[in-house]
Amino acid sequence: MNDRSSRGRPPDPDILTPTEWQIVEAVRHGLTNRRIAALRNVSLDAVKYHVSNALTKLGLTRRAQLRQWPGVALRSALRNRHETRDTMKLGPVGQIARGVKNIEEARTWYADVLGLTHLYSFGDLAFFDCGGTRLFLSPSKGEGDSIFYIQVADIHAAQNQLEARGVVFINAPHMIHKHDNGVEEWMAFFNDNEGRPLALMAQVAQVAPT
């Protein structure tokens, strides 16, 4: 007799599966289900299914609640770092975002005409080095405010201290990308006193086991 319990994928130790984490991070970044489906090349129903599963597992009732959920995956480099800082220190501007009408034309222009170093692209997003500050290009149908991304060492500590000063965050810190070398990109968005967008960003590397 075959033992059915020995077949299939073993249970995941984390509260969400890796795929559910990827969907949740995209939701926390503010993407719609349709946009997530297009970026991941999956069906809209598949995205809805994973969102529903995540809500059930987390005890949440609405998709909007995911944007403020502060969870961090067990596999994340951020989860495995143990840093404590009594004083929040905002670093230099790490990134500036700009919307463009045609990403392919813009990618060529910024590289060939301005001579900026193309760092990497994924999907319809492109990143360039501009004298040590990263320029982030993404498709945009209209003109909007550029977003300044401020580097911090501990994104959760920075969020907590800014909230204590009255800053209201649009979403919880979330991982938007993991590079091939294991470095994770984390962001959290808020507005300034005039309602213009700002963001915290942190780059977190895996810590080698001791």
- Please tell me the pTM assigned to this model: 0.72
Q: Which tokens go with 93?
A: 């501007």
The DSSP call for residue 6 is G
- The model's pLDDT over 60-81, given as tens digits with 9 standing for 90+, comes to 999 999 999 999 998 898 877 6
> Rounded distance, CA 132 to CA 94, Å?
8
- The model's pLDDT over 115-171, given as tens digits with 9 standing for 90+, comes to 899 998 887 889 999 888 999 998 887 656 688 888 888 999 999 989 988 899 999
What structural domains and CATH numbers belong to the chain?
Answer: 4-68 (1.10.10.10), 93-204 (3.10.180.10)
Sign of CA pseudo-dihedral 158, 185, 45, 52: negative
